[in-house]
Amino acid sequence: MWRVLLVEDDPDVAASTKATLEHLGYFVILASDGHQGFELIASEQPDIVVTDEMMPVMSGFEMVERAREAHYKGFVVVCSAISESGVRNRQARYDAFLQKPYRVQDIASILNMLRAISDGAK
């Protein structure tokens, strides 16, 4: 079972996304800010991180950069209300981008695509 770390500060978005992903067979771990997300990446080593870009304590991009510096090798999906071309820090190494507001089906499609890529690499 693939483990997804969902880093989202909006409780309603987090709850609906978590429920949908669990229904699709993912094991979902929640974090409500970038610092907590970074700590969970280090301790849990999820297969995929789905993170909001703008969050309290530490941004999604800062969390991703710190995780990559700490040798996190899993997939990362960044979500933002700002278009991908307009985000401030495009240095962050992520695998997919999803503009908010999104449908949870959009995240499910991206995660399924990343799983297929991973399965094809094996």
Distances (CA, A) of 19 to 29, 66, 92, 108: 11, 28, 28, 11
What does the pLDDT profile of the chain (122 residues) look like in tens digits? 899 999 999 999 899 889 989 998 999 999 999 999 999 999 999 999 999 988 888 988 899 999 999 999 999 999 876 665 555 555 567 888 888 888 878 888 998 899 888 887 65
CATH of 3-121, one of 3.30.2130.10, 3.40.1010.20, 2.60.40.420, 3.40.50.2300: 3.40.50.2300
pLDDT at 76: 94
pLDDT at 85: 55
Residue ranges per structural domain of the chain: 3-121
DSSP letter at 37 equals H
pLDDT at 101: 84
